[in-house]
């Protein structure tokens, strides 16, 4: 599934194209793309038409576009969702589910296409509620309001309002594996399997180390590596192993070429040369170096 860097690349691409744009029309071509919307296709189309998009905002892996002080269109990319910018009247995209026609005061007419091969993603009109800490809800807006569907998601480590102290406290208070904590979106959002493995490799921490077993300096080091890995992935457009994870222009990221642990089973560790191993973890897999990341 796309993680923070992949979703941020999409948000950054949408931002200049949709901010301030008037929604001229909405065409729902597959009702399965509205599984999280309260109401059917006709309701979604009618409620959005004539609204003006105020921003493109992200928290962790979640993306939304406010269309009023109290409402926003929430985008769940799921496993294969794509938000694509296209010229008006362009041919239908493969796996196209929803098309939104916009009129931008500077850029003119354009189309936003939601395409989704596996149909696990969706769009939804959702209410906005105040953030508990009063800080901006996410990247892309100063508005301290978050969609109800995203309100339970923690801030991500790149968010200026992210609390390092709260993260350290959660880590110190659990016997769960450190990787499980990293993947818990109520602790820190936006980190998935790829970037958890890469961050733990960089911090020299075994993924199954109990959180409470990590000294404060190790937790601080891990947070620093999480941020470094996410920033590097952002600079390289995210990680793409196939044609599913693309930016708004359909282009893939190339962070896969910079991976040190994830997906490199049997290949030499870039640090010590020992083969990277792969083990089962939470219905997923963990990739790590048995020499550099010893379980203590």
Taking only the tens place, the pLDDT of each residue in 230-281 is 999 888 876 543 445 455 555 554 456 679 999 999 999 999 999 999 999 8
Residue 86 has pLDDT above 80, yes or no: yes
Is 95 among the annotated ligand-binding positions? Answer: yes
- d(CA 39, CA 104) in angstroms, rounded, equals 27
Both tokens assigned to 32: 């399965």
DSSP H stretches of helix in 32-112: 41-48
- d(CA 115, CA 245) in angstroms, rounded, equals 11
Q: What is the CATH number of domain 4-147?
A: 3.20.190.10
- d(CA 254, CA 214) in angstroms, rounded, equals 32
Which residues does 230 contact at the CB level (< 8 Å), separation at least 6? 4, 5, 156, 157, 158, 190, 191, 195
**Residue found by looking up tokens 């796996």 in the block:** 95
Write b or e for each residue in 231-253: b if 16 or more Cβ atoms lie within 10 A of its Cβ, otherwise e: eebbebbbbbeeebbbbbeeebb
Is 291 among the annotated ligand-binding positions? Answer: no
- Confidence label for 40 from pLDDT (cuts 50, 70 and 90): very high
Query: CA nearest 21: which of 63, 50, 60?
Result: 50
Catalytic residues: 2-3, 61, 284
Report the pLDDT value the prediction gives residue 67, as an integer from 0 to 100: 98
Beta strands in 39-80 (DSSP E): 57-59, 62-66, 71-76
Query: CA nearest 239: which of 263, 267, 221?
Result: 263
| CATH class belonging to 164-288 | mainly alpha
Residue 153 has pLDDT above 80, yes or no: yes
Is residue 13 within 8 A of residue 248, CB to CB? The reply is yes
Give me the mean pLDDT over the 138-165 stretch. Answer: 97
- d(CA 94, CA 96) in angstroms, rounded, equals 5
Report the pLDDT value the prediction gives residue 2, as an integer from 0 to 100: 81
Tell me 276's DSSP state. Answer: P
DSSP H stretches of helix in the chain: 4-18, 41-48, 164-172, 178-183, 193-203, 216-235
Return the domain boundaries, the chain.
4-147, 164-288
Cα 170-172-178 angle, rounded to 5 deg: 80
Report the pLDDT value the prediction gives residue 282, as an integer from 0 to 100: 85
Which residues does 217 contact at the CB level (< 8 Å), separation at least 6? none
This prediction's pTM:
0.91
């Amino acid at each position: 599934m796309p993680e923070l860097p992949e979703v941020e690349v999409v948000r950054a691409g949408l931002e200049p194209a949709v901010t301030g744009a008037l929604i001229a029309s909405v065409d729902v071509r597959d009702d399965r793309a509205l599984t999280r919307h309260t109401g059917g296709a006709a309701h979604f189309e009618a409620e959005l038409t004539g609204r003006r998009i105020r921003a493109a905002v992200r928290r962790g892996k979640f993306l939304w576009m406010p269309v009023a002080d109290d409402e926003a269109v929430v985008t769940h990319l799921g496993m294969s969702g794509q938000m694509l910018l296209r010229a008006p009247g362009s041919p239908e995209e493969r796996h196209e589910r929803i098309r939104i026609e916009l009129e931008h005061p500077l850029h003119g007419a354009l189309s936003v296409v939601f395409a989704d091969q596996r149909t696990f993603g969706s769009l939804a009109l959702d209410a906005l509620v105040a953030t508990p800490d009063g800080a901006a809800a996410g990247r892309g807006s100063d508005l301290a309001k978050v969609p109800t569907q995203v309100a339970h998601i923690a801030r991500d480590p790149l968010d200026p309002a992210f609390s390092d102290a709260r993260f350290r406290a959660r880590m110190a208070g659990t016997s769960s594996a450190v990787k499980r904590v990293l993947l818990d979106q109520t602790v820190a959002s936006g980190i998935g399997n790829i970037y958890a493995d890469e961050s733990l490799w960089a911090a020299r921490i075994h993924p199954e180390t109990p959180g409470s077993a990590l000294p404060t300096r190790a937790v601080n080091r891990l947070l620093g590596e999480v941020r470094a890995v996410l920033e590097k992935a952002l600079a390289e457009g995210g990680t793409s192993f196939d044609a599913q994870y693309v930016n708004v222009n359909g282009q893939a990221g190339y962070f896969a070429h910079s991976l040190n642990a994830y997906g490199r089973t049997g290949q030499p560790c870039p640090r010590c040369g020992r083969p990277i191993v792969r083990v089962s973890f939470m219905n997923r897999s963990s990739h790590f170096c048995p020499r550099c990341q010893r379980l203590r």
